[in-house]
A = this chain, B = another copy of it.
Amino acid sequence: MGAGVIGLSSAYHIISQEPSAKVLLLEKALSPGQGDSGKSAAGVRTVFTSEVNRLLAETSIDFYLHLQNDLKFPVNLELIGYLWLMTARVFEDFSPKIETLRKNGVPLKIWEEKELTQMISEARLEVKGDDEEAKLMHLESIRKGVQGVKCGTIAPERLVEFYANEIKKMGVEIRYGERVQSIIVEPTPKLSLPSEPFVWERVNFSGVRTSNSEFRSDCTILALGAWTSSLLDPLGIDCHIRTKKRQVFTFRGPKIGSLVNSRGFNEQNVFPMSFLPPTNIYMRPNRPDSSFWVGVSDYVGRAFTFEEDPIAEDTFYERNIYPVISHYFPAFVDARPFNKWAGHYDMNTIDGNPYIFGESGLIAIAGCSGSGMQKADAIGRIVASAYSKKDSATLYGGKNFKVSRLGVETRDVQHEDLVI
């Protein structure tokens, strides 16, 4: 279930590894990637503090490069870098992580304030001591830039298209417009009494119900992201995630365009996917139209909610993002978003790594925490191994990954400090 990037990648790797498998993919929307995949800011990065997240992301990025370079299927992956702009204080706090990341082979560049000022078109990195408004917002001068090199942006719709095309060729049936309403729980043997299952019955998850049909399967895979709890909560199975609305606002215009085309950070001569202190407001350049996609993750005050079709709030941009972004980048002064949308994070607030777990014919993937796009290929491989009841998966490039590491009781991950 779920023709987002995680469900598509899972179907792709299952059918690739077991060509004789009969795979049916059910999706409520009328085309792939219409849920939170399509709402993603679609950054990719290897800068994670959790080794597991790094491994999932690195090998997935390598696979996406392979698609693009070897298979000649462009997914618009551009390694323009992730740039964290830092105050002196933030840089000091972050420094120990720089060492650890580098030790673990994550390439990073450090920029000084002077270099940043030269490269960024019309930045205002300095915060003056008498700037009362800046003080109110806890803004301080930007002194450093930390750039993840194997990081950048991708086109979600292209990645989704790749997997969707390939699985169709390999015989996977995709049914769009099929909203799953419940999972079929079947005791063995089935007594057909009301209020089954009873505690003394053994149960099997044997398929799903939509409004019109029942689909029976040996293995039911939930790749539903923020929709997961709507099917698992009624069964009393914890999906271990909470969902939060996340919003994207887009900007273009001559000044914005000049900022997008800042030179020196990368060979594309484009402003990297960047983050502003103190709250990690992000600016994602979109080269095709020289625009920026802008957003920020709000924590305290943003309720855990789920909406079928969430809507981005102008006031959210105006009050939370505008005062900060327009301070550091005057190109944003008086700019109004030309587009906006909203999706969800399905957040694992415990360790920030994904979950792949299940039993009795059910596999659920959850908790990608806003970085599912960039880990989707590796996750699909691990799901395929879970489907085949293999202990480990071979990630792109040949590294092995123990499936149980992403489980619940057998979990073996590190806390992710960089959920953004």
A66 within 8 A of B: no
Q: Are A304 and B233 also in contact (CB < 8 A) when A137-B200, A189-B136 are?
A: yes
Q: Which residues of B contact A296 (CB under 8 A)?
A: 199
Q: Are A234 and B195 also in contact (CB < 8 A) when A138-B200, A350-B240 are?
A: no
Q: Which residues of B contact A201 (CB under 8 A)?
A: 137-138
Query: How far apart are the CA atoms of A139 and B201 in the complex, in Å?
Result: 10
Evaluate contact between A199 and B235: CB separation under 8 angstroms. no
Q: How far is the CB of A406 from chain B (nearest CB, A)?
A: 13
Q: How far is the CB of A102 from chain B (nearest CB, A)?
A: 23
Evaluate contact between A319 and B198: CB separation under 8 angstroms. yes
Q: Which residues of B contact A381 (CB under 8 A)?
A: none
Evaluate contact between B240 and A301: CB separation under 8 angstroms. no
Evaluate contact between A300 and B350: CB separation under 8 angstroms. no
Q: How far is the CB of A372 from chain B (nearest CB, A)?
A: 18
A279 within 8 A of B: yes
Of the candidates B196, B300, B316, B321, which one forms a contact with A236 in the assembled complex, judged by CB atoms under 8 Å apart?
Answer: B300
A242 within 8 A of B: yes
Q: Which residues of B contact A278 (CB under 8 A)?
A: 200
From A298, which residue of chain B is reached at the shortest CB distance? B199
Evaluate contact between A303 and B199: CB separation under 8 angstroms. no
Q: Which residues of B contact A137 (CB under 8 A)?
A: 200-201
Q: Which residues of B contact A72 (CB under 8 A)?
A: none
A324 within 8 A of B: yes
Evaluate contact between A236 and B350: CB separation under 8 angstroms. no
Q: How far is the CB of A189 from chain B (nearest CB, A)?
A: 7
Query: How far apart are the CA atoms of A155 and B315 in the complex, in Å?
Result: 54
**Could you say how many copies of this chain the assembly holds?**
2
Of the candidates B202, B316, B320, B321, which one forms a contact with A138 in the assembled complex, judged by CB atoms under 8 Å apart?
Answer: B202
Evaluate contact between A408 and B349: CB separation under 8 angstroms. yes
A window 346-360: CB within 8 A of B: 347, 349-350
Q: Are A235 and B200 also in contact (CB < 8 A) when A193-B319, A319-B193, A319-B195 are?
A: no
A238 within 8 A of B: yes
Query: How far apart are the CA atoms of A411 and B415 in the complex, in Å?
Result: 10
Evaluate contact between B138 and A299: CB separation under 8 angstroms. no
Q: How far is the CB of A360 from chain B (nearest CB, A)?
A: 8
Q: Are A203 and B349 also in contact (CB < 8 A) when A193-B319, A236-B244 are?
A: no
A253 within 8 A of B: no
Q: Which residues of B contact A316 (CB under 8 A)?
A: 195
Q: How far is the CB of A319 from chain B (nearest CB, A)?
A: 5
Contact with B along A275-316 (1 / 0, CB 8 A): 000110100000000000000111111111000000000011
Query: How far apart are the CA atoms of A323 and B237 in the complex, in Å?
Result: 25
A197 within 8 A of B: yes
A-B residue pairs in contact (CB < 8 Å), sample of 17: A136-B191, A193-B319, A195-B315, A197-B301, A198-B320, A199-B298, A200-B320, A200-B324, A234-B303, A235-B300, A235-B301, A236-B298, A236-B302, A236-B303, A238-B304, A238-B347, A240-B350
Chain A interfacial positions (CB closer than 8 Å to B): 136-139, 185, 189, 191, 193, 195-203, 233-238, 240, 242, 244, 278-279, 281, 296-304, 315-316, 319-321, 323-324, 347, 349-350, 408-409, 411, 415
